């Protein structure tokens, strides 16, 4: 089995360090980069950042990891909804600044589960 660059426990640790109950992939990336600089370096070497003419970037990789993690039974995230009836699911319009770092006009919003 191939070893993941960013282990699930580090994903959880990053989520717990985020101060708000909801966050974007850019918030997650910033905190992850601060907490795990060695892994961040490996991710950027492998996938690159937006603007490097790559279709699958660090943001894409981490967004996919968060999506999958959100559906695990023990997840501290609410399951991410790609689409909802009558709406765009757990997305919102990206700001101009966010688009400069991410590229998409839409950005995913991940939500923590309430502490029980």
Per-domain residue ranges for the chain?
A: 8-111
pLDDT at 55: 65
- pTM for this predicted structure: 0.85
Instruction: Determine the Cα–Cα distance for residues 85 and 66; give it in Å rounded to an integer.
Output: 22
Q: Of 105, 79, 111, 78, give the one whose Cα is nearest residue 92.
A: 105
Instruction: Determine the Cα–Cα distance for residues 10 and 99; give it in Å rounded to an integer.
Output: 26
Sole residue written with tokens 């995230």: 77
In sequence order, the 6+-apart residues with CB closer than 8 A to the CB of 65 are 6, 11
**Mean predicted lDDT score pLDDT of the chain:** 87
pLDDT, one tens digit per residue, over 26-69 is 999 999 999 999 999 999 988 887 656 666 688 888 999 999 99
């Amino acid at each position: 089995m191939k070893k993941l660059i960013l282990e699930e426990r580090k994903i959880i640790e990053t989520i717990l360090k985020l101060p708000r109950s909801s966050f974007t992939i850019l918030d997650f990336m910033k905190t992850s980069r601060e907490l795990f600089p060695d892994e961040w370096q490996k991710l950027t070497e492998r996938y690159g950042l937006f603007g490097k003419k790559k279709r699958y970037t660090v943001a894409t990789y981490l967004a996919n990891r968060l999506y999958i993690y959100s559906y695990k039974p023990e997840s501290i995230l609410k399951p991410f909804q790609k689409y909802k009836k009558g709406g765009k699911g757990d997305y919102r319009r990206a700001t101009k600044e966010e688009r400069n770092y991410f590229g998409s006009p839409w950005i995913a919003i991940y939500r923590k589960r309430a502490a029980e």
